[in-house]
């Protein structure tokens, strides 16, 4: 196939864009599933998402509804780097939903809620020649041939692609239920013979450069219930390269000239085969666009499929390039990718963490200190809620005044700051949320030490902040108890896709802190398998920074970085710590609390500052801290 000239996009994915709701109870009857996890779904959206994770420039051509599910689909795609300029919002139709279950080996029931859904409202007026011509490939799916309106849009897009040198990829994507050939409860059925479906697909075949399908899908496209005969029928109509997906056995590529290329699969233990085909196509297309031959491109596709089948969900399981390369290098020794620590760390670090950048965080999760302050001022504890609302006002005031408002964040608790948490979350700030019981040593968590269920109720964007008073030379019984608690918390956050910010305070407990102490603590947690997205540390001495950088680089080069805490230090002392930290790239800013709000809060509690004045004073101190950091940052 001739390569078109350089273009803005690699692949336009035309087709289904939906929300997948995966049952979280595994191995039982679908009727008994209690809770569902929400993911991006729809075959075309999954492929676009997978391509973007691998580094290809994908775009989504479809529609979503004008409601929360549609906005979720749009944000999920855009967050992965997919171009959504042609993902239209349909004012009349709802975003499609699919309910899916994992009920046992080869038993994956799913129910499609696609009656008059938004992506089937795609119209030939939703795109033009310039858009189609901007891409190297146009990837279309069979589902959108199932109605006359969407079929007309598909054929217009294909015609424009042929006219402008954009190659056409046909993902057969045959679901009988979506053609009205199976009842709603039989969504998992992958084959019902239909001359009508074959006739709809036949005119398209001659215009394709690549046709991809399972054996069942090849049979429907070729109009024969024998796979070899179906392949012959497709070949008679098309000069496209044909790819037959064969599940765990791999795939076979049939170029238009030359014999078949058999590419073996990977012997992983599957959890969920749903979405494996979408992952395969993303890997195949990425390899092909990168200049790989068909054997190598198909190997990438098989590897992407193997990684996805080992995990819950499809889109969130899609690998990034580093994870894919690591798996390919060790595939023979990784029968359970979902249990492999290195793959898990790479997946979490490169796909679920938000991009690393400097943050300016005002931490006011203080509970014990503010309780003491309120008691000393003779004020009821309810005043703490009011104070935290005023601190949030100060953050918003600074956000309106400084040019880096998108880097502002807060660390809050839900004991006295629940309304502030909701407010800051809705406004889009970076939000850290405290989980430790203040002052506990050994560490205790609230509302309970087994944190999985409570964390499930937190908004997904909340960063789990945990402070532990920890020195690597603590008595063994204390040290092991704290480590066990942190390991449990890490496993919970990782399982739920939450970022963890681990704050370590090593000083002030009778042990000497030297230039190696903090790095030793970090290495200890890394050796236990704990790889938090963020570290929050006491301002280290200048000699300690190289050791901290080395520990993080060795064990988690994708770590978002270190935030400096304040410990109620005076501004001049904090500025000195900024001067030591700013030259080190691993330090990504600060998360300071009482050094900013401490004195104004005391004055407010004692009645010498009113509400307006305390907001101004806290905002002024906060802005001064931001200016200090930014002035020192190379």
111 - beta bridge partners?
A: 99
pLDDT in tens, 439-484: 999 999 988 887 778 898 999 999 999 999 999 999 999 999 999 9
Question: Which pLDDT belongs to residue 623?
Answer: 96
CA distance 197 to 145: 8
Half-sphere exposure of 177 (CA within 13 A, CB side): 16
Q: Which helix (H) or strand (E) holds 537?
A: strand 534-537
Contacts of 431 (CB under 8 A, 6+ apart): 409, 410, 411, 412, 421, 424, 425, 459, 461, 462, 463
- Fill in the DSSP letter of residue 348: I
Q: Which helix (H) or strand (E) holds 296?
A: helix 294-309
What is the CB neighbour count within 10 angstroms for residue 483? 20
Contacts of 365 (CB under 8 A, 6+ apart): 411, 412, 413, 417, 432, 433, 434, 465, 593
Q: Is the dihedral of CA 168, 169, 172, 173 positive or negative?
A: negative
Q: Which residues of the chain have pLDDT under 50?
A: 1-2
Q: What angle do CA 480, 481, 487 make, to 5 degrees?
A: 85
Q: What is the largest CA-CA distance in the chain?
A: 89
Cβ contact 470:521 at 8 Å: yes
Question: Which pLDDT belongs to residue 273?
Answer: 84
Q: What angle do CA 204, 275, 227 make, to 5 degrees?
A: 50
CA 70 to chain centre: 17
DSSP 444-513: -BSS-SS-HHHHHTS-TT-EEEEEEE--TTS-HHHHHHHHHHHHHHHHHHHHTT--EEEEEE-SSSSS--
Question: Which pLDDT belongs to residue 207?
Answer: 97
**Residues, the chain, total?**
634
Cβ contact 302:251 at 8 Å: yes
Cβ contact 150:144 at 8 Å: yes
Cβ contact 254:242 at 8 Å: yes
Please tell me whether the overall predicted TM-score, pTM, comes out greater than 0.95 for this model: no
Task: Give all domains of the chain, ordered by start, each with its CATH number.
Answer: 9-17+45-95+122-175+192-317 (3.40.1190.20), 359-632 (3.20.20.70)
404 - beta bridge partners?
A: none
CA distance 450 to 488: 8
Q: Which helix (H) or strand (E) holds 432?
A: strand 430-434
Cβ contact 369:381 at 8 Å: no
Cβ contact 570:594 at 8 Å: no
361 - beta bridge partners?
A: 409, 591
Contacts of 123 (CB under 8 A, 6+ apart): 149, 153
User: Residue 584, SS3?
Assistant: coil
Peptide bond into 442 cis (omega under 30): yes
DSSP 157-212: HHHHHHHTT-EEEEE----GGGGTSS-GGGTT------HHHHHHHHHHHTT-SEEE
Q: What angle do CA 483, 468, 579 make, to 5 degrees?
A: 125
Pairing mode, strands 241-245 and 251-254: antiparallel
CA distance 495 to 338: 11
CA distance 483 to 412: 24
Question: Which pLDDT belongs to residue 473?
Answer: 95
Cβ contact 600:547 at 8 Å: no
Quick one: angle between helices 215-222 and 227-237, nearest 10? 50
């Amino acid at each position: 196939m001739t390569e078109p000239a350089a273009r803005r996009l690699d692949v336009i994915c035309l087709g289904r864009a939906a929300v997948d709701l995966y049952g979280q109870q595994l191995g039982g009857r679908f009727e008994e599933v209690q809770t569902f996890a929400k993911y991006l779904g729809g075959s075309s959206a999954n492929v676009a998402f997978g391509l973007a994770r691998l580094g290809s420039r994908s775009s989504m051509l479809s529609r979503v509804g004008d409601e929360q599910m549609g906005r979720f689909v749009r944000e999920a795609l855009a967050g992965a780097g997919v171009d959504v300029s042609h993902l239209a919002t349909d004012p009349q139709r709802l975003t499609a939903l699919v309910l899916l279950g994992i009920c046992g080996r080869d038993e994956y029931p799913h129910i499609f809620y696609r009656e008059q859904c938004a992506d089937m409202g795609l119209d030939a007026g939703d795109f033009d020649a310039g858009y189609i011509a901007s891409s190297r490939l146009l990837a279309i799916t069979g589902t959108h041939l199932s109605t006359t309106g969407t079929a007309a849009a598909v054929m217009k897009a294909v015609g424009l692609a042929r006219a402008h040198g954009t190659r056409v990829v046909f993902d057969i994507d045959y679901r009988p239920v979506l053609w009205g050939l199976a009842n709603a409860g039989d969504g998992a059925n992958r084959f019902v013979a239909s001359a009508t479906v074959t006739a709809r697909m036949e005119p398209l075949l001659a215009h394709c450069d690549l046709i991809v399908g399972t054996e069942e899908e090849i049979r429907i496209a070729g109009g024969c219930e024998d796979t070899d005969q179906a392949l012959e029928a497709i070949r008679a109509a098309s000069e496209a390269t044909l790819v037959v997906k064969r599940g765990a056995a791999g795939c076979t590529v049939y170029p238009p000239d030359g014999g078949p290329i058999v590419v073996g699969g990977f012997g992983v233990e599957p959890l969920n085969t749903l979405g494996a085909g979408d992952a395969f196509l993303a890997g195949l297309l990425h390899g092909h666009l990168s200049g790989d031959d068909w054997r190598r491109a198909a190997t990438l596709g098989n590897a992407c499929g193997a990684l996805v089948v080992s995990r819950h969900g499809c889109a969130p399981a899609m690998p990034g390039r580093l994870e894919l390369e690591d798996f390919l290098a060790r595939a023979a020794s990784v029968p359970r990718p979902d249990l492999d620590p290195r793959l898990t760390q790479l997946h979490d670090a490169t796909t679920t963490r938000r991009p690393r950048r400097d943050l300016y965080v005002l931490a006011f999760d203080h509970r014990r200190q503010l309780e003491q302050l309120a008691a000393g001022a003779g004020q009821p504890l309810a005043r703490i809620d009011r104070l935290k609302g005023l601190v949030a006002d100060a953050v918003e005031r600074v956000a309106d005044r400084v040019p880096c408002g998108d880097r502002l964040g807060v660390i809050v608790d839900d004991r006295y700051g629940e309304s502030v948490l909701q407010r800051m979350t809705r406004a889009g700030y970076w939000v850290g949320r405290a989980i430790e019981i203040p002052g506990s040593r050994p560490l205790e968590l609230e509302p309970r030490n087994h944190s999985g269920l409570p964390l499930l109720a937190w908004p997904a964007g909340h960063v789990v902040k945990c402070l532990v008073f920890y020195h690597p030379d603590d008595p063994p019984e204390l040290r092991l108890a704290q480590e066990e608690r942190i390991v449990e918390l890490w496993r919970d956050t990782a399982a739920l896709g939450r970022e963890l910010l681990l704050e370590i305070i090593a000083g002030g407990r009778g042990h000497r802190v030297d230039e190696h102490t903090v790095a030793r603590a970090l290495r200890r947690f890394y050796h236990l398998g704990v790889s938090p997205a963020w570290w929050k540390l006491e301002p280290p001495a200048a000699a300690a920074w190289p050791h901290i950088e080395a520990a993080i680089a060795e064990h988690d080069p994708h770590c978002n970085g270190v935030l400096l805490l304040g410990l109620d230090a005076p501004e001049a002392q904090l500025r000195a710590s900024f001067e030591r930290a700013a030259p080190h790239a691993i330090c990504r800013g600060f998360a300071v609390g009482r050094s900013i709000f401490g004195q104004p809060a005391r004055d407010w509690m004692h009645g010498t500052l009113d509400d307006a004045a305390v907001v101004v004073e806290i905002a002024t101190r906060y802005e001064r801290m931001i200016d200090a950091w930014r002035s020192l940052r190379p």
